Amino acid sequence: MCGIVAYIGKREAYPILINGLRRLEYRGYDSAGVALLNGTLNVYKKAGKVADLENYISGKSKKGSLGIGHTRWATHGPPNDVNAHPHSSDEERLTLVHNGIIENYDTIKKELSARGHQFVSDTDTEVLVHLIDDIQQHTKAPLEEAVRLALTQVTGAYAIVVISQDEPEKIVCARKSSPLVVGIGKEEYIIASDATPIIEHTKKVVYLDDEEVAVICRNEGLRIKDLDNEHKTPYVQELEWQLERLEKGGYDHFMLKEINEQARSIQDSFRGRISIENNTVTLGGMQDFVEKFEQAQRIIIVACGTSWHAGLVGEYLLEDLARIPVEVEYASEFRYRNPVIFENDIVIAISQSGETADTLAAIKLAKEKGAMIYGICNVVGSSISRETHTGSYTHAGPEIGVASTKAFTAQLTVLSLLALAMAKQRNTLSEEKYAQLLKDLNRMPELISEVLKCEKQVIEISKKYQNAENFLYLGRGYNFPVALEGALKLKEISYIHAEGYPAAEMKHGPIALIDENMPVVVVGTNKSAYEKIISNVQEVKARKGQIIAITNEGDDELDNIADHVIKVPNCSEQFSPMVATIPLQLLAYHIALLRGCNVDQPRNLAKSVTVE
Ligand code: G6P
């Protein structure tokens, strides 16, 4: 979704802003813009990519050591030059960039229009800059105070950065339900919607809290107030991510790099949390809430997209290993359903970005109803990680490709650890079974390295099916969510229509679609249901469907029935989703590549969905 970067310091702002906007491209956007202040204000904006903006600016003035930049993902009004940010007040006295949605923009716009303000765009954002301008005209208040007063009048979500021709030594920014990070460098500040544009300049950051307004003056540094005008002390944190992790590292795409990183990212997810010698799992997030976990009667998992699929695997793991009932909910449905939540429920919120608006709202609702919330997030310091009572980071490192890959397997790792820790606490597994599962989980990085070797075979399969119009993905038990995730990956980046289904349900509908043109991917790495999967494959073959099967080494029965068999290493069924998902990620990647799609930034999708 939209991205923000801003700079105030001694260096030229333009290269820092453009570089920052490139770093933010992964979030998904359809227009971009910058504003530079250097005596006068120069605002440049363009529909399309950051490169289009750069072409447009080439030859124009880029001077200024203070500036703001934005990538816009259209919500109100089409992605054109006028609707792109920054948006300015009359005569460009003020200009601002905004992420989020101002819900009462229409009412405010009518009032301001009646007072003579001229609006040029279809956006909700433009209202905000005119409102701040209006307040300054009437009160003569400094910019930070006018911003604070304006924000008391708006409802909705915002992360904003505002600059003014009249106050050229300062930047004012604020947030509510949309993240904003202030990076503190040497005599300079970089403000951004996430840490990716900041890391190469400084690792010291302050995450603004909801309803905080920050003012950064060239000489006085950073000051923060809340909307009630109370001073706040900035809490400075150290970023853990390395710059190299934000680069492609020799791969053609971030997605391919991230697929290939999974042996390491899974290891990072359980590093320090498993002890094979002591036969223990330690999750820091559980330790302060031991009693809550002991008393828990039910777990509700809320998430969206790929994280929801991880939640489904979590349901199998927690019910199977820790014998606790689990419900998995789309956060967007949960929050509008008046859900029944009991005191002894634990709500687990899963989110890679930690910023998904629906998941955040579901957490707030569950908290109001008295539940304890456990977060499983990848982005340290994200809104969800701060809104939850406790939790575990996935430690997968920055995920830049819009289609989630390594974050998914890291989420599965944390859910496996949680299920094992709860099983131990509830005494639901024998010592031997527990030890065997722990050893198996510890072997995952090695198995992932092994399964990644199937890429050549996957490329050949991709060539054969690149022109298919539909795909069906089937799986049972632990691998039903893997089928859903495989189908999601393919449709996200190749735009082929794909459906995931529980294998046995196929005969209640999707079987009608099967003919010689229908590729059917069957995830058959479940030991407990292998025979049943073979029957499902026979049903597809009898209708001339094309079978691409994922099976374990040593399971040879499908070799003569399926059109293609991808063999993956054996492991406990509980962890087979981690292994089985890798060929499906590669299949989606290579088919999308062959179809000439933009793998890292698929059309219409955003990495972090910060609107409802
Ligand atoms: C977007 C992304 C998906 C992601 C989903 C949930 O749709 O494109 O890859 O799975 O949001 O995001 P979260 O950050 O909460 O896991």
Q: What is the 77 CA–ligand 1 centroid distance (Å)?
A: 23
- Any ligand 1 atom below 6 A from CB of 306: yes
CA distance readout (Å), 434 to 264, 277, 427, 443: 23, 13, 10, 14
Structure tokens at 110: 């009518």
| Tens-digit pLDDT profile for residues 157-175 | 899 999 999 999 999 999 9
- Any ligand 1 atom below 6 A from CB of 382: no
| Tens-digit pLDDT profile for residues 186-212 | 999 999 999 999 999 999 999 999 999
Classified as helix, coil or strand, 182 is: strand
Instruction: Please say if 2 is a catalytic residue.
Output: yes
Catalytic residue among 45, 203, 225, 607: 607
Cβ 470 vs Cβ 302: under 8 Å: no
Who's near 22: CB < 8 A, 6+ residues apart? 50
Residue nearest to atom 5 of ligand 1 (CA): 305
Catalytic residue among 2, 173, 377, 597: 2
Who's near 604: CB < 8 A, 6+ residues apart? 28
Instruction: Please say if 10 is a catalytic residue.
Output: no
Render the burial of 323-346: b for 16+ CB within 10 Å, e for the rest.
ebebebbbbbebbeeebebeeebb
- Any ligand 1 atom below 6 A from CB of 22: no
Closest alpha carbon to 489 in 471, 469, 476, 505: 471
Mean pLDDT, each 10-residue run in order, the chain (612 residues): 94 98 89 95 96 96 97 89 96 94 93 95 95 97 98 94 97 94 96 94 95 95 96 92 76 95 94 92 93 95 98 98 97 92 94 94 94 94 92 93 97 98 96 96 97 98 97 96 98 97 90 93 89 89 94 92 96 97 98 96 86 76
Classified as helix, coil or strand, 37 is: strand
Render the burial of 286-308: b for 16+ CB within 10 Å, e for the rest.
beebeebbeebeebbbbbbbbbb
Inter-axis angle of helices 406-426 and 431-442, nearest 10: 160
Q: Which atom of ligand 1 is least distant from the CA of 606?
A: 8
- Any ligand 1 atom below 6 A from CB of 304: yes
Closest alpha carbon to 362 in 252, 559, 371, 109: 371
Q: Where are the alpha helices (DSSP H) in 221-304?
A: 254-260, 262-270, 284-287, 290-295
According to DSSP, the residues that pair with 182 across neighbouring strands are 191, 206
